Chain A
Amino acid sequence: AQSVSQHNHHVILSEAASLELGCNYSYGGTVNLFWYVQYPGQHLQLLLKYFSGDPLVKGIKGFEAEFIKSKFSFNLRKPSVQWSDTAEYFCAVNPDNDMRFGAGTRLTVKP
Chain B
Amino acid sequence: KAGVTQTPRYLIKTRGQQVTLSCSPISGHRSVSWYQQTPGQGLQFLFEYFSETQRNKGNFPGRFSGRQFSNSRSEMNVSTLELGDSALYLCASSLGAGGYNEQFFGPGTRLTVL
A: which residues have CB within 8 A of B? 31-32, 34, 36, 43-46, 49, 51, 90, 92, 94-104
Q: Which of the listed residues A92, A97, A102 has the most CB atoms from chain B within 10 Å of its own CB? A: A97
Which of B13-21, B73-81, B95-103 forms part of the interface with chain A? Answer: B95-103
- Residue pairs across A and B with CB atoms within 8 Å: the count is 55
By Cβ-Cβ distance, the 5 closest A-B pairs, closest first, are: A94-B99, A101-B43, A103-B42, A44-B105, A32-B99
Q: When the two chains form their complex, are residues A45 and B100 in contact, meaning their CB atoms are under 8 A apart?
A: no
Residues in B with CB closer than 8 Å to A31 are 99
How many residues of B are counted as interface, with CB atoms below 8 angstroms from the partner's CB atoms?
26
B: which residues have CB within 8 A of A? 3-4, 33, 35, 41-45, 48, 55-56, 58, 90, 92, 97-100, 102-108
Residues in A with CB closer than 8 Å to B3 are 43
